Amino acid sequence: MQKVLFSLLFFFLISGLALAQSDKNPQQTSKGDDYFRGYDSKDQKADKKLRKSKAGKSSVHLYYDRKIEEYHERMKENAVRYKKMSKEMKKPRYSDPTYFGHKNSPKKRPPGKKKFCSVCEIVH
């Protein structure tokens, strides 16, 4: 009798633990939903018109066309930014090793008067 009671108790404990770990309110969304989050009904109507005008030919989705255009715009902006950054890196503050990360080059002191620098943690 005790073995049966123990086995039933063990079974209920295991099943209770399994149910406790399951999600009570599952929100299953596919990965594709993230792509269409900003897609509104105006675009859908325009897309239907485009499909009708091509008479059955499969067309690229307008949403993806817009995203490609945005991508090209971002790449142009990045090119300008990288060009500006490379121009900045040619300055002696970045290209000359004597600066050690300082905004201005550190003073060259005689050996007896050198100080510890808190910026680069070198004595100079």
- Residue 84 placed within a domain: yes
Is the per-residue pLDDT at 76 higher than 50? yes
| Alpha-carbon distances, residue 2 vs 6, 7, 8, 15 (angstroms) | 6, 8, 10, 20
Is the per-residue pLDDT at 64 higher than 80? yes
pLDDT confidence band for 5 (50 / 70 / 90): confident
- Residue 122 placed within a domain: yes
More confident residue, 99 or 81: 81
> Measured between alpha carbons, how far is 115 from 122 in angstroms, rounded to an integer?
8
| Count of domains for the chain | 2
pTM of the model: 0.38
- Residue 118 placed within a domain: yes
Is the per-residue pLDDT at 85 higher than 80? yes
- Residue 47 placed within a domain: no
Structural domain range at position 77: 56-90
- Residue 44 placed within a domain: no
